[in-house]
Amino acid sequence: MTTTEEQAVALKNEGNKAFAAHDWVTAIDCYTKAIELNPNEPTYYSNRAQANIKSEAYGYAIADATKAIELNPNFVKAYYRRAVAYTAILKSRDALRDFKTVVKKAPNDKDAKLKLAECEKIIKKVEFFRAIEIGDEPSAAEGLDLDSMVVEADYDGARIDKKMTPEFITDMLERFKNGKKIHKKYVYQIILAVKKIVYDEATMVEIDIEDDSQLTVCGDTHGQFFDLMELFRLNGLPSEKHHYLFNGDFVDRGSWSTEIALLLYAYKWLRPSSFFINRGNHETDDMNRVYGFEGECKAKYNERVFKLFSESFSALPLATLIGKKYLVLHGGLFSDDKVTLDDIRKLNRHNQRQPGQAGLMMEMLWTDPQTEPGRGPSKRGVGMQFGPDITKRFCENNGLDAIIRSHEVRMEGYEEEHDGKCITVFSAPKYCDSTENKGAYINIGPDYKLKFHKFDAVPHPNIKPMAYANNSLMSMT
């Protein structure tokens, strides 16, 4: 007869197998069961911390690594994993403290020394940006004379005159598929045109679906351009009668973020009243500096392109209300039950370019659902979590059928939670080439019924996710 400890070891081994298969959910479940049988074994917490890192539950990872350290203060791997989790949520000073501990306890660990140096560099960079941040910084468009900017005669792509055309988008798609770029004059034109369009939109865009139309809601695409092409192949390109809404996090992590951002913006310019974009937590400066979009803009175009994108991101709407039935926003609900749709309508997003650490904007971009009633601390370490009772009250108070949100991987590409009142849709299949999830999108017709569609990842050129991230620390996550 096996002992409790032997059963725990067997569960840990099952968890390790699931982890190796990139099935983070099963791995976490196995490690949790092992912990229930033997709560005094630090390895189980450390292993679960790593699985939580992989599933972006950085707050849980920090708690697990901390418990492992309590049980064994010399457990170097636990300090290392906690440092990585802190890095992921941009708590670089906490990460630095842990990396210093790792180097002290394992002086021959070359990788830890590299990570420590990288962490010190990040802190200096963050402090530099804080020091130069001023409220009335001039726009990156200042001094940009597009009229006199010449597109060379040997440029072999379609051209923009004064407005976007379907022909330009078709040509741009082919260029991007073949690893080509568009001329930087057109990049500037697209971003500036869309910044003006979205700046004038409401913080919560309100739309109805006409009798002969349909709307497709897409979740995170995270720079996975070739998977977005597959979504369009299966579901059709945007058109006057086929509207699209992209619910944030279209940049960072994946290495074709500029291609996706320019494509979505080109469609927004072409079809301003039938193509919609919500802001996500990755359409923000601090995330872009760590997770690759800033580096990609500089590598493919220049720093000014990143700054213009940054200005346009801060102008994006934060939510879309569909037929007064569905509120679509990137993260989720609020720490206060009194928040209404009117509060979102009144929110002046132009007074606050970045979401900060608290408030309505931060919660709209960062929060997540949980199965337990009430509210709880965030598994991410940022924002908070809300239960089915919170969702039910919010929907009842605001006359909604459901909220639709994104922000989290779902293995089937989507999930209906909270008695169907909280729906998550995620459109980046095989996320970061490391999670065996499907992608999904939702089609909504004039009857306002939700039709879910799943799709698989497709091959892409051999460029890894995070290829443009400006630090090696994020390769760990």
Which helix (H) or strand (E) element contains residue 326?
A: strand 326-329
What residue type is assigned to position 326 of the chain?
A: Y
Bridge-based pairing of strands 450-455 and 439-444 is antiparallel
What residue type is assigned to position 112 of the chain?
A: A
List residues with catalytic annotation.
Answer: 282
> How many angstroms separate the CA atoms of 3 and 203, rounded?
59
Distance of CA 78 to the CA centre of its chain: 26
> How many angstroms separate the CA atoms of 265 and 367, rounded?
26
Q: Closest Cα to residue 464, out of 303, 305, 292, 306?
A: 292
In 134-221, DSSP assigns E strands to 204-207, 214-218
Report yes or no: 51 and 84 within 8 Å, Cβ to Cβ.
no
**DSSP H helical ranges for 55-163:** 58-71, 76-88, 92-105, 110-132
> How many angstroms separate the CA atoms of 242 and 236, rounded?
8
> How many angstroms separate the CA atoms of 321 and 337, rounded?
19
Q: Closest Cα to residue 303, out of 415, 401, 399, 188?
A: 188
Q: Closest Cα to residue 300, out of 157, 182, 147, 427?
A: 182
> How many angstroms separate the CA atoms of 146 and 152, rounded?
14
Q: Can you spell out the DSSP letters for 344-355?
A: HHH--GGG-SS-
What residue type is assigned to position 116 of the chain?
A: L
Collapsing DSSP to helix, strand or coil, 107 comes out as coil
Report yes or no: 354 and 362 within 8 Å, Cβ to Cβ.
no
Q: Classify residue 433 by its DSSP letter.
A: G
Distance of CA 330 to the CA centre of its chain: 9
Report yes or no: 317 and 201 within 8 Å, Cβ to Cβ.
yes
Q: How many CB atoms lie within 10 A of CB 60?
A: 22
What residue type is assigned to position 463 of the chain?
A: I
> How many angstroms separate the CA atoms of 352 and 371, rounded?
32
> How many angstroms separate the CA atoms of 98 and 82, rounded?
7
